[in-house]
Amino acid sequence: MAQQVVMPKQGNSVESCIIVEWKVKLGDKVAVGDVLCSAETDKSTIDVESTAEGVVLARLFEEGADVPVMVPIAVIGEAGEKVETVAAEEPKQQEAKASEVSASVVEQAPVVAASQAIGASPRARQLSASLGIPLSAVQPTGPKGRIIERDVLSAKGQPLSPVARKQALEQGIEAPASGSGIGGRVLASDLATKPVEPAVTAPVSEEVTEIAVKGVRKVTARRMMESMHSTCQLSLHAFADARALKRLRAGFKASKPELGLQGITINDLVLFAVSRTLVQFPAFNAHFLGDKILRFAHVHLGVATDTAKGLLVPVLRNSELLSLKQLSEGTKALIGKCKAGTAQPDELTGSTFTVSNVGSFGIEAFTPVLNVPEVAILGVGTIVLKPIEDEDGDVAFVEHIGLSLTMDHQAVDGADAARFLKALMDNIASIDLLLAL
Amino acid sequence: MDSFDLIVVGSGPGGYVAAERAGALEKKVLLIEKEHLGGVCTNRGCIPTKSLLNSAKLYSHAQDGKQFGVQAQEVSFSLLDAMAWKEETIKTLRGGIEFLMKSNKVQTVFGEAQFLDAHHVQVGDTVYEGSYLIIATGSSPFVPPIPGSTLGHVLTSDGILEIKEIPSSLVVIGGGVIGIEFASFFSMIGTKVTVIEMMSEILPMMDGEFAKLMRRELKEVDFHLGCKVEEITPDSVLYTDAKGEKKSIAASMVLMSVGRKPNIQGLEKLGLDIGRQGVVVNDRMQTNLATVYAIGDVNGRSLLAHSASRMAEVAVSNIFGSKTMRMRYQAIPWAVYGNPESAGCGITEAEAAKLGIPVRSRTVQMRANGRFLAEHGKKGAGLVKVICHAQTGAIVGVHLLGPYSSEMIWGASALIEAELRVQDVKEIVFPHPSVSELIKDACFQLDHTL
């Protein structure tokens, strides 16, 4: 009996995964636990393992497809078994399974939803979900009766003239959201014509590489826009005396290897200061949810991390309880996983405050974008020399580290933010004392 | 100084519609008119000619009623009564526009507007200030410098609407819409009419086949095509014919209808970009000055009242509204209200060939239609032509010649605007019996599949 393997659930926040690469071909023999494909979640790459034993009868999505979790991606059965048979027997299976008390997660996969999902492209499904248009109400015009994005758009009311619709379909041109006809109706002339093959004598054309916005880039794009749209962001810039930081860092570096302190960085020290300062300012260790503000007892620090795939924010839980050494090691481990693409979804969610450090690039100050629904984010800049006048009126050049605090003015006020930033500056300036507490 | 959100200069179908629409959006609007509300359209164009043509058609039908069982005796035409009816119509419509302006709280000032700069217009001694300015000053008949063109019996469309007596003979110089409508009118009321046209055919926007039929149906009118008028004398018009021979026609009255020129005098101080056609505008009706718009005949883009009204809406939309509207010219219908009527929308086959658009077309005779046959008989002349894109089937042109053409043509505009295809039109239900069914018939001739 053929069985379907579904896209597994990845934590609570992951709604869909992109199939990056199929590891099996049709006809391959697989055992339970064999990797069928690698898939990209919002923030990391996972291996999807087979939950059935047999021969791969069907791969239901192409590489690059964005598949909602719990939707079947492959059919495993006996060699020669027809996939259509599987579909025909689905209702029966469902009935049989309904009577089983100990149904596993995989077996609970909604079979009806699955068959619908196959009839629509991922983009169409996403759009229909975001617009609230049921796929059953959409007239498919895609190949083999598949629902594609423009079908959902036209169900939404985007008026395509009959000529434009036919032309878009035949030439595979994506129709714009609105055109030059009556009431924004899209006419054939509004469709971008397919690029003509350049003639041999054509002048050198500008080279443009098209990159699909998906995976981490897509999530980042959405989250950043969400942040800018839903919050009232205000940034404060300051410089904290960095002499203590530098002194400590030099000390750790020169310490005995067996102490395991050599790897503690300036950033670790700043994170440490942030975790301790936030305890004093619970208003900044919070989420703003519109009608309510959640303040957290523990500081779950998000650490903005630059990876080959883009920006990831692993979360260092209960950071205010960690020693500097624990904090440093924990951060390193998380960053390592992010760079390797093996961070688990739950390690990438749930932060209460985020720190983003671009000091290594020589940036002095910037305006970090809030990691919503967090109330604030700290940007850490490079260390620069600032002229400081001492009590005797002498001017000395003192090392200072740039701090940029962006806060959501919906949740806190400018003076609150100034007080928090001042306290953080003081804590950083006397980080050695803070460590003793 | 009185200050306004919008100053509109000219109250024709462009200007008054702009004022009305902006007023409806609760903007403070000033409308300046030098003569009568309604402009040329209401006072010296569309409306008075339709009034006179209707009188002439009634006269003509009364004479032809015998075959339909109606016998009228001692039928006569009174130009004075026809003119009085025309005046009554004009006055009523002017009153209607005045009411529209009041109900939309548009302030109206009568007098010649002097444009001081992009935000100031003076009328008499008063200077008005406006955030935006819409120029809707229209156009005037163009009188070419032909010897004799200033003689008293040489009239333009303005003067000929004021005549007191029916001329015995009329030479119409220029076979465009205005010339043909007056030719039709005067020929119906007994004037000997001759049309002299410089081009090889009358009505340049009309399909060639239709123009030929139109000439044939204007039975009492003589046409001289490809001819150049050389001189007008007090009793004749001298011209060179297509073969280069010099000829003359006797004329007790001459109508000069060779075209219209934009009313751009007085705009000099504004520093507007003015081209050969008129004030240069973009597809939002905006001039080179960001807050100054020009609509209607003065921009020369489409010299039709309904184009002006649409331009008004586009302009106001871009000033105070959604800012998304753009002027589209591909589906503006035209109509010639002679006897017979004709109308068209979209392109002709000749234009398609020039534009390199592959097209297919079918022409159907109006006498194949039940209602037309009942009202005009087997010998009645009328044509319907539907032109579609050869590949996509999209309707690109509809041409009509015969009764109700002007009332049917809006449907063709809708088809073209919506980019509907022949196969789509075939699914529309047309009322029966109506002449409009012929559009559907032509579509089935283009594509009989179901």
Across the interface, do B421 and A163 touch by the CB < 8 Å criterion?
A: yes
Q: What is the pLDDT of residue A193?
A: 62
What residues of chain B lie within 8 A of the CB of A188, using their CB? 392, 394, 419
Q: Residue with structure tokens 């434009």?
A: A164
Radius of gyration of chain A, Cα coordinates, nearest whole angstrom:
27
Question: Can you spell out the DSSP letters for A291-332?
Answer: S-EEE-SS--EEE-EEETTEEE--EETTGGGS-HHHHHHHHH
Across the interface, do A187 and B419 touch by the CB < 8 Å criterion?
A: yes
Which residue among B326, B328, B394 sits closest to A163, beta carbon to beta carbon?
A: B394
Partner A contacted by B428 (CB < 8 A):
no
Query: What's the rounded Cα separation, in Å, for the pair B257 and B175?
Result: 8
Partner A contacted by B419 (CB < 8 A):
yes
For chain B, give the mean pLDDT. 96
Does the fold of domain B334-446 match that of domain B2-140+261-320? no
Q: Is residue A117's pLDDT more than 60?
A: no
Segment B367-396 mean pLDDT: 96
Domain with CATH 3.30.559.10 in chain A: 234-436
Report the percent of chain A where pLDDT is more than 90.
38
Across the interface, do B392 and A167 touch by the CB < 8 Å criterion?
A: yes
Least CA distance to A187: which residue of chain B? Answer: B419
Give the residue from A390, A388, A369 showing the smallest Cα distance to A379: A369
Name the 3-class secondary structure at B30: strand
Q: Are A224 and A402 in contact (CB under 8 A)?
A: no
Assign residue B420 a region (left: φ > 0; alpha: ψ between -120 and 50; beta: otherwise).
beta
Helix axes B15-24, B79-103, angle to 10 degrees: 30
Across the interface, do A167 and B421 touch by the CB < 8 Å criterion?
A: no
Segment A72-88 mean pLDDT: 73
Least CA distance to A168: which residue of chain B? Answer: B392
B337-380: per-residue pLDDT in tens? 999 999 999 999 999 999 999 999 999 999 999 999 999 999 99
Q: What is the pLDDT of residue A129?
A: 72
Query: What's the rounded Cα separation, in Å, for the pair B307 and B334?
Result: 10
Q: Is residue B19's pLDDT more than 70?
A: yes
Q: Are B392 and A167 in contact (CB under 8 A)?
A: yes
Neighbours of A191 (CB within 10 A): 20
Percentages (nearest 5) of helix, strand, coil residues in chain B? 35, 25, 40
Question: Can you spell out the DSSP letters for B212-240?
Answer: HHHHHHSTTEEEETT-EEEEEETTEEEEE
Q: What is the pLDDT of residue B407?
A: 97
What residues of chain B lie within 8 A of the CB of A167, using their CB? 392
Q: Is residue A212's pLDDT more than 90?
A: no
Helix axes B405-417, B437-446, angle to 10 degrees: 50
Q: Are A178 and A158 in contact (CB under 8 A)?
A: yes
For an interface test with A, which of B328, B413, B419 has the most A Cβ atoms less than 10 Å from its Cβ? B419
Partner A contacted by B385 (CB < 8 A):
no
Across the interface, do B419 and A163 touch by the CB < 8 Å criterion?
A: yes
Task: Please report, as a single letter, which amino acid is at residue A311.
Answer: L
pLDDT tier for residue A111 given thresholds of 50, 70 and 90: very low
Give the residue from B243, B213, B189, B268 showing the smallest Cα distance to B382: B213
Segment A285-311 mean pLDDT: 91
Q: What is the pLDDT of residue A95?
A: 41
A225-242: per-residue pLDDT in tens? 889 888 999 999 999 999
B233-276: per-residue pLDDT in tens? 999 999 999 999 999 999 999 999 999 999 999 999 999 999 99
More confident residue, A157 or B228: B228
Q: What is the pLDDT of residue A430?
A: 93
Name the 3-class secondary structure at B163: coil
Q: Is residue B53's pLDDT more than 80?
A: yes
Residues A412, A416, A420, A426: what is their CA dihedral angle, to the nearest 10 degrees? 170
Q: Is residue A405's pLDDT more than 60?
A: yes
Which residue among B418, B423, B424 sits closest to A182, beta carbon to beta carbon?
A: B418
Residues in chain B, overall count: 450
Name the 3-class secondary structure at B347: coil
Q: Name the CATH topology of B154-258.
A: FAD/NAD(P)-binding domain (3.50.50)
- The residue annotated as part of the active site, out of B36, B120, B306, B432, is B432
Query: What's the rounded Cα separation, in Å, for the pair A376 and A282?
Result: 11
Q: Name the CATH topology of A3-118.
A: OB fold (Dihydrolipoamide Acetyltransferase, E2P) (2.40.50)
For chain A, give the mean pLDDT. 82
Q: Is residue A116's pLDDT more than 50?
A: no
Per the structure block, which two tokens stand in for A285?
Answer: 């260790």
Report the percent of chain B where pLDDT is more than 70.
100
> Pairing state of beta strands B334-336 and A310-312?
unpaired
Per the structure block, which two tokens stand in for A394?
Answer: 């002498």
What residues of chain B lie within 8 A of the CB of A180, using their CB? 326, 328
Give the residue from B422, B318, B347, B324 showing the smallest Cα distance to A179: B324
Neighbours of B388 (CB within 10 A): 27
Give the residue from B360, B371, B362, B383 showing the smallest Cα distance to B430: B371
Query: What's the rounded Cα separation, in Å, for the pair B450 and B430?
Result: 17
Q: Structural domain boundaries of chain B?
A: 2-140+261-320, 154-258, 334-446
Segment A240-261 mean pLDDT: 91
B194-217: per-residue pLDDT in tens? 999 999 999 999 999 999 999 999
Q: What is the pLDDT of residue A194?
A: 52
Which residue among B326, B418, B423 sits closest to A161, beta carbon to beta carbon?
A: B418
Query: What's the rounded Cα separation, in Å, for the pair A274 and B82?
Result: 93
Query: What's the rounded Cα separation, in Å, for the pair B447 and B347?
Result: 20
Q: Are B443 and B422 in contact (CB under 8 A)?
A: yes
Radius of gyration of chain B, Cα coordinates, nearest whole angstrom:
23
Task: Please give, rounded to a whole number of angstroms, the shortest distance from the CA of B424 to a CA of chain A.
Answer: 8
Least CA distance to B391: which residue of chain A? Answer: A163
What residues of chain B lie within 8 A of the CB of A161, using their CB? 394, 418-420
Across the interface, do B421 and A180 touch by the CB < 8 Å criterion?
A: no
Listed range (A14-18, A40-44, A166-170) with the worst mean pLDDT? A40-44
Q: Is residue A329's pLDDT more than 80?
A: yes
Q: Are B196 and B171 in contact (CB under 8 A)?
A: yes
Give the residue from B208, B213, B245 showing the smallest Cα distance to B349: B208
Listed range (A227-241, B9-23, B119-133) with the worst mean pLDDT? A227-241
Across the interface, do B392 and A163 touch by the CB < 8 Å criterion?
A: yes
pLDDT tier for residue A344 given thresholds of 50, 70 and 90: confident
Q: Name the CATH topology of B334-446.
A: Enolase-like; domain 1 (3.30.390)
What residues of chain B lie within 8 A of the CB of A169, using their CB? none
Q: Is residue A150's pLDDT more than 80?
A: no
For an interface test with B, which of A161, A167, A173, A190 has the most B Cβ atoms less than 10 Å from its Cβ? A161
C-alpha angle with apex B272: B269 to B273, nearest 5 degrees?
Answer: 145
pLDDT tier for residue A160 given thresholds of 50, 70 and 90: confident
Query: What's the rounded Cα separation, in Å, for the pair A71 and A172?
Result: 27
What residues of chain B lie within 8 A of the CB of A177, using their CB? none
Q: Is residue A106's pLDDT more than 70?
A: no
Q: Are A359 and A402 in contact (CB under 8 A)?
A: yes
Q: What is the pLDDT of residue A108?
A: 36
Across the interface, do A163 and B328 touch by the CB < 8 Å criterion?
A: no
Q: Which range, A39-53, A57-71, A99-113, has the best average confidence (pLDDT)?
A: A57-71
Partner A contacted by B394 (CB < 8 A):
yes
pTM of the model: 0.59
Name the 3-class secondary structure at A29: strand
More confident residue, A364 or A46: A364
Q: What is the pLDDT of residue A131?
A: 63
Q: Is residue B284's pLDDT more than 90?
A: yes
Query: What's the rounded Cα separation, in Å, for the pair A302 and A375?
Result: 13
Partner A contacted by B224 (CB < 8 A):
no
pLDDT tier for residue A13 given thresholds of 50, 70 and 90: confident
Integer CA distances (angstroms), A294 to A80, A99, A285, in order: 57, 42, 9
**Residue B389 annotated in active site:** no
Q: Is residue A203's pLDDT more than 60?
A: no
Segment A275-292 mean pLDDT: 93
Q: Are B230 and B238 in contact (CB under 8 A)?
A: yes
First to last CA, chain A: 65
pLDDT tier for residue A86 given thresholds of 50, 70 and 90: very low
pLDDT tier for residue A16 given thresholds of 50, 70 and 90: confident
Question: Can you spell out the DSSP letters for A146-188?
Answer: -B-HHHHHHHHT--B-HHHHHHHHHHTPPPPSS-SSGGGPBPG
Partner A contacted by B421 (CB < 8 A):
yes
Q: What is the pLDDT of residue A426?
A: 95
C-alpha angle with apex A227: A226 to A231, nearest 5 degrees?
Answer: 115
CATH architecture of A234-436: 2-Layer Sandwich (3.30)
Segment B296-324 mean pLDDT: 96
Listed range (A165-179, A306-320, B168-182) with the worst mean pLDDT? A165-179
Partner A contacted by B418 (CB < 8 A):
yes
Q: Can you list the alpha helix ranges (DSSP code H) found in A122-265?
A: 122-131, 149-156, 162-171, 215-230, 243-254
CATH code for the part of the protein at B2-140+261-320 = 3.50.50.60
Task: Please give, rounded to a whole number of angstroms, the shortest distance from the CA of B278 to a CA of chain A.
Answer: 25
Segment A331-345 mean pLDDT: 89
Q: What is the pLDDT of residue A114?
A: 34
Q: Which range, A102-111, A141-150, B36-45, has the best average confidence (pLDDT)?
A: B36-45
Q: What is the pLDDT of residue A204?
A: 60
Least CA distance to B418: which residue of chain A? Answer: A161
What residues of chain B lie within 8 A of the CB of A187, using their CB? 419
